[in-house]
Structure 1
Amino acid sequence: MALTLAAGGAVLLLLLASNVIRRIFVRHARARGTEMDAADTAGWLVFFAVIFLGAAALGLLNPSKFLSLAFCSTLLVFGVAALVGAFVIGRR
């Protein structure tokens, strides 16, 4: 029970932190001269990348309790793909 509550709190903190990271990334992309739409899209991709990678890390810590290995690897692949997409779109 306590482990589940701790994991829920960690996910909530991860959501808040990834939103802050998204805003910082959008400001950085706008400062480099990226269009507003491209910077916003890249920011949301960073948000989802952080969430996917955080969920995969949480699942890998205790796969029998939270997630299966197949689901964690899928989250990891989507997280890395979103991160690559964010950096490609943020450079336009």
Structure 2
Amino acid sequence: MTATWQIVVHGLVQGVGYRAACVDEARRIGLRGWVRNRRDGTVEAIAQGEADQLLALCEWMREGPPDAQVLSCDVDKAWVADSPIKGFEQRASI
């Protein structure tokens, strides 16, 4: 069953290649969605796929790329997508 999760990562996650690495990992797993930096210093991802795929991305996001220092990872499993998402992309910061 397809689900959509919002994942917000806290720590040193901007300026370390986190978003690009997240796109690569999400595509490797076969997820759809996007990732972006937020003004508060966090990274936000919206990911759509099967539960096992989403769990795999969450595990990766808790570590991130080598230069990241992840402090915590918040997951909202009740996030509702307005429409089906195609592909996985890096979006502009907000």
Q: TM-score, normalised by structure 2?
A: 0.31
Q: Taking CA–CA contacts closer than 8 Å with sequence separation of 6 or more, which of the two structures ends up with the larger relative contact order? A: 2
Q: TM-score, normalised by structure 1?
A: 0.31
The structure carrying a bigger helix percent of its residues is 1
